[in-house]
Structure 1
Amino acid sequence: MGGKSSTHVANSYNKAIWVKCDAERSYVLVSKYEGSVAVEDIGSGSASVERQFEWSKIKADFTRILPNEVLRFDVDTRSTDVVYVTIIADGGEVLANALPKREDYSVMVAENGQVRDVIYGRIWQHV
């Protein structure tokens, strides 16, 4: 624990993906592409609340990664050793919802859309 941690996300999927990496376990779960989402705050133990959002507003908190690209996310991990990764494919399919990963570990979205752990230092080789 301590300082900033880098988590890399590689995209081997045939669609662009939208990624959010955070040290907090709150996340957005897309239940309908048209705009209805359930917002859950796991940390507080609160129940799911159904709210209306526009897909473009959800994208505002996420970073887009095109196919065959990789991005680094610097996460403040001073109070935890876990980074939560949320990945949504273009079109609204949720590939990972607050997926817990140890700080400084990375993932890739494989060709079939599965989120896989990668070999440390080899972002395109999954475990």
Structure 2
Amino acid sequence: ERLAELFHGLDLPPLAPVDGDHALSKSFYLMPNFPGRFAPRTVWVDTPRSQVNDGVSTVIVAGSDFAGAWAVDRFGASLLPVTPGGEEQREMARRVGVNLVMYALTGNYKTDQVHVPALLERLGQ
């Protein structure tokens, strides 16, 4: 309901929480949740339709403040505190960032395993 209120007036597809099978949770690092500057909160994505964008989500919404966890000054020192997990949580937030970039660049290739046998055969030759 809160998301609907925030995005009122925008033409967005329906959003659903990311589950453990979503490519975002395994595009590079295996991520059971998505911490940022704050403790992990639900990450919402549009419910992809396989006919559009190869089934890749085009909208990702999160409330954990990933960018706040990544922010550094010109000397590389962190700008904002990360709670409750401190520096370990900040590292996990960086990994979330890597997964976001990998997902944006590669889409759902991690979930598309139909070509694996052919690729392995080709690599073996």
TM-score (norm 1): 0.28
Give the number of the structure whose alpha-carbon radius of gyration is greater: 2
More helix by share: 2
TM-score (norm 2): 0.28
Determine which structure has greater relative contact order: mean sequence separation of CA pairs < 8 Å that are 6+ residues apart, divided by chain length: 1
